[in-house]
Amino acid sequence: LVICSISFQATPTEDIEKDNATFLTKLILTGLTYEPQWQIPLFLLFLVIYLLTIVGNLGLIALIWNDTQLHIPMYLFLGSLALVDAWLSSTVSPKMLVNCFSESKMISLSECMIQFFSFAISVTTECFLLATMAYDRYVAICKPLLYPVIMSNTLCIQLILLSFLGGLLHAIIHTSFLFRLTFCNSIIVHHFYCDIIPLFKISCTDPSINYLIVFIFSGSTQVFTILTVLVSYTLVLFTILKKKSLQGIKKAFSTCGAHLLSVSLYYGPLLFMYVCPRSAQTDNQDMMDSLFYTIIIPVLNPMIYSLRNKKVIDSLGKMLKRNV
């Protein structure tokens, strides 16, 4: 995979071009578009967001790990989601922060591919985890007596592993097809990280097959996971409405509300980016969508799930009392 493609036809002129050509292995990430006076404020803002993301998500993982009362499927899924959010943010944020003060904004082609591969694993795994969390809530509310039998810790761990495996396979497929492309139209990637659609736009190889692969695999992944969430919560809603206890209704809505909020915030930008990758969105619109689910959602998820969860708050209180 090279940035400048060269024709290998047996003509004298092209042979000379072949001999004199320089094979470039660098790309330029333009980053977010902003005025120079915003450079330091935006750097500080994104640095604070990144630190909050890491502290919030890793802190939630540590809390679940240390409290045996939280070693149940609901919180094991939540801990896995926190791990993926920290992973996703760490894939994107450090390079973006470095580029805030970098004049060249260069990234090697190999580093670019590794960044996209890591990004694809984390973002796809999160989709599968959100779907499994919705199924977990369906079983807990619609079949409470059978919940310990159906959703055992063994099944929970298997679903988590399958989510990560699905993310890995999805990343391998897209990264493998990226290697069929050559880049000579431009070395400038209009994005703040190496994402697949901006790379297609600078390819001098026809990326139609790649667009088709994105539509098939990313589209089917999102449709499958969204349908799982919608079906699960539709059944949950019917079950809740049948309850005569107002307290039971409030508890059920409280349990599912945080997850529904997280899902609705996460899937919107993804649908615009990958299910309709040839939409009329500008590069800046794509970057704003990406910024939302790579930077904003990972910092919000620990707050969304923790502040609305009594067991997590109680566990945090006990841990703080022990350490005081």
**pLDDT score of 191:** 87
| Spatial separation of the C-alpha atoms in residues 292 and 30, rounded to whole Å | 18
| Spatial separation of the C-alpha atoms in residues 310 and 102, rounded to whole Å | 44
**pLDDT score of 10:** 40
The answer to whether 18 touches 68, Cβ cutoff 8 Å, is no
Q: Which residue has the tokens 């580029």?
A: 99
Q: Roughly how many angstroms between the first and final C-alpha of the chain, as a whole number?
A: 56
Neighbours of 85 (CB within 10 A): 27
Q: Up-side HSE of residue 184: CA atoms within 13 Å toward CB?
A: 13
Ordered strands of the 26-29 beta sheet = 106-108, 26-29, 188-189
Per-residue pLDDT of the chain (324 residues; tens, 9 = 90+): 333 333 334 444 344 333 333 345 788 888 776 677 788 888 999 999 999 999 999 999 999 998 888 899 999 999 999 999 999 999 999 999 988 887 778 888 899 999 999 999 999 999 999 999 999 989 988 898 899 999 999 999 999 999 999 999 999 999 999 988 888 767 888 888 999 988 888 888 889 999 999 989 988 998 899 899 889 988 888 887 776 566 666 666 666 766 777 777 777 666 666 555 554 455 677 788 788 888 988 998 888 877 767 788 878 787 777 766
Q: Where are the domains of the chain?
A: 37-106+115-182+206-323
Nearest in space to 183 (alpha carbons), one of 25, 21, 8, 15: 25
Q: What is the DSSP letter of 29?
A: E
Q: Is 151 helix (H, G, I), strand (E, B) or coil?
A: coil
- Look up the CATH superfamily of 37-106+115-182+206-323: Rhodopsin 7-helix transmembrane proteins (1.20.1070.10)
Provide the sign of the torsion angle of the four alpha carbons 162, 163, 169, 172, taken in this order: negative
**pLDDT score of 54:** 96
Prediction pTM value? 0.84
Q: What is the DSSP letter of 192?
A: S
**Amino acid sitting at position 10:** A
The answer to whether 199 touches 244, Cβ cutoff 8 Å, is no
The answer to whether 164 touches 125, Cβ cutoff 8 Å, is yes
Q: Up-side HSE of residue 313: CA atoms within 13 Å toward CB?
A: 8
